[in-house]
Structure 1
């Protein structure tokens, strides 16, 4: 399986599984409480907003609409640049809407970039991060916001800064920063309303468009034959078993509650040189392992520093002779 193919599988699997006014430090809210409220806000609030997602030199503007209606959760994500591709989610049903079939064959729309913030466990995050709330309220998209920083306790993860609406804790801005505090990735709302006049039609594909339902990969659970001799503090396996993909590839998933690392193992016939690829905040690494007479290609992909992937590559091994 190609590296680009593994990146796509990783994305889909993870989807199944983002001017200052001072105030008294005594009023500074608890970091864990802020994160919990932020995590809940994505599914409980109705909202309609425009945000910018920037990564390296790439920048993309998107519109997100969300509503709870008659016991169902509706969400629409529209790419405002290029071909105006839309992803509609009604509870667990996801529909991708393209202008026409030709565009559908060439482009893949990513899911909402806020997935990482849903279901956060603040106590688990404290294993790898110091949670620090600023004693100032910032202004994002014309709204007052608390500023919270997740400072990494080691070199194996990035720092994160989030700005949360002071009234309802909605995520207004998220920055991912490297070890030198250089910006790697940013999501920032430019406008948002929390009393939108949304209708069913806003979550219904246009008749002239080309739509197809996205089917979550049903990877078979298999016994994991691999292990890590070491993991950074806070990182652990998300699944107790591995997932069997096509072409004999198996997948493991690591997470520290904020960052995730996908691990793919596939049998190969030839040795490949160890290599690394950096795309913004994402690092991918490949390495060939020989177990007995069989060669295996190990690929790791994650939004972590390169040193993390390098270290994990060096401590990845079979549980027993395969």
Structure 2
């Protein structure tokens, strides 16, 4: 009898284990299953609040660059140091909203004209990203990047006026470790990826010290009321747009040497419009593209006064052209440009 019981027990043990696993699996799946929206919500805070160091490559068309980065969130302050690894020396150091740029071999750089786009843009940290309105979000699986487990999120554009994105997020922190910007055809236009990464809180103060010698250009970023300050097209002093893609709202106003400029963002992509008087100088017009960045230039005549309209940013060329052709110059601005 004991032998029979022992035999029955040995036979039932695999079934018992299978039953335990079967019962455990649904609970495990519910706990582990996360939606695309969940990962997108983690993305913004992770970019600022995760501390890490590493090296990443950034490819735009045929141009490929690598940069070393140290990033720390310490006592509520974001600190970051980016060091060029090829194409000349230089570095960018940020502490909270203060940024210092040193490019010894290239001289002065006007930081205020930098368009806020790319994987480290403030746009990624915004809580106002209307993803469901302009992009369809979908989980595309899991994998590994730079030695870390990741999940992949696809953001597919719902119209022809913006590009699609694919994001790889580190699973424990939500940190963006790889991204693609893709055309409607599926072609990868821009590619960002960490090739070496260490997520760690152990980053010394010395890693955020400026070490390059050269002219330092400083700027204090404006983080107060950006959406309120630029929520009206009235910020376009002297000119206005008759058309822009739905969802792109005024987000910043980088200065232009003699004219006006406004940046627009849908929370993920961005483009800027520059309007400058040209006088008797004739500039080349038309579209060019580097990676996902289109540059479209158009001459605009207002009476006897000429203006150059330039659209720069993450728009398909046909959309950039529509934006440029919708610019209208106010008479007062045209008169002032002549003076």
* In the alignment, structure 1 residue 93 sits paired with structure 2 residue 106: no
Matched, 1:166 2:171: yes
Match of 1:304 in 2: 315
Deviations 1:13-44 (A, max 9, x none): xxxxxxxxxx9699542323212211101211
Give CA-to-partner distance per residue, 1:223-257, whole Å, 9 cap, x none.
Answer: 62322223222122225xx666322x111222211
**TM-score normalised over the length of structure 2:** 0.75
Match of 2:124 among 118, 121, 124: 118
Distance 1:163 1:256 in 2: 20
Quick one: structure 1 residues 231 and 190, their matched pair in 2 at CA, closer, same or farther if it must change by over 3 Å? same
What is the Cα deviation at residue 168 of structure 1? 0.8
Alignment of structure 1 residues 233-312 onto 2, 5 Å = 233-238=246-251, 245-247=256-258, 249-270=259-280, 272=283, 274-312=285-323
The match for 1:20 is none
Question: Distance in 2 between the 1:274 and 1:97 partners?
Answer: 32
- Which runs of 5 or more residues in structure 1 are unaligned? 1-22
Does the 8 Å contact 1:35/1:120 carry over to 2? Answer: no
The structure-2 alpha-carbon separation of the partners of 1:292 and 1:209, relative to structure 1 and needing over 3 Å to count, comes to closer
More helix by share: 2
Q: Secondary structure at the match of 1:169?
A: coil
Cα deviation digits, residues 64-122 of structure 1 (max 9, x gap)? 11113344322111122244422211112222345xx5x25288998985115532346
User: SS at 2:319's partner residue?
Assistant: helix
Count matched residues. Answer: 290
- CA distance in structure 2 between the partners assigned to 1:281 and 1:150 by the alignment: 15
Matches of 1:222 and 1:161, distance apart in 2: 33
Determine helix, strand or coil for the equivalent of 2:315.
coil
**1:231 paired residue number:** 244
- Please show how residues 38-77 of structure 1 align to structure 2 within 5 Å: 38-77=43-82
TM-score (norm 1): 0.79
CA displacement 1:266-298 (0-9 Å, x = unmatched): 122246563112222111111122223332221
Q: What are the ranges of 5 or more consecutive residues in structure 2 without an aligned counterpart?
A: 1-27, 223-233, 335-339
2:107 is matched with 105
Q: Is contact 1:272–1:288 with CA below 8 Å preserved after alignment?
A: yes
CA RMSD after TM alignment: 3.1
Partner of 2:41: 36
In 2: Cα distance, 1:233 partner to 1:205 partner? 41
Query: Which residue is 2:136 aligned to?
Result: 130
The answer to whether the 8 Å contact 1:243/1:251 transfers is yes
- Determine which structure has the larger strand proportion and give its number: 1
Q: Secondary structure at the match of 2:92?
A: strand
In structure 2, do the counterparts of structure 1 residues 199 and 123 end up closer, same or farther at CA, with 3 Å as the change threshold? closer
2: CA distance between counterparts of 1:177 and 1:138?
Answer: 20
Q: Distance in 2 between matches of 1:255 and 1:311?
A: 16
Change (3 A) 1:260 1:172: same
Task: Give distance in 2, aligned partners of 1:122 and 1:243.
Answer: 21
Query: Structure 1 pair 272/318, CA: closer, same or farther in 2 (3 Å)?
Result: same
How far apart are residue 261 of structure 1 and its match?
Answer: 1.4
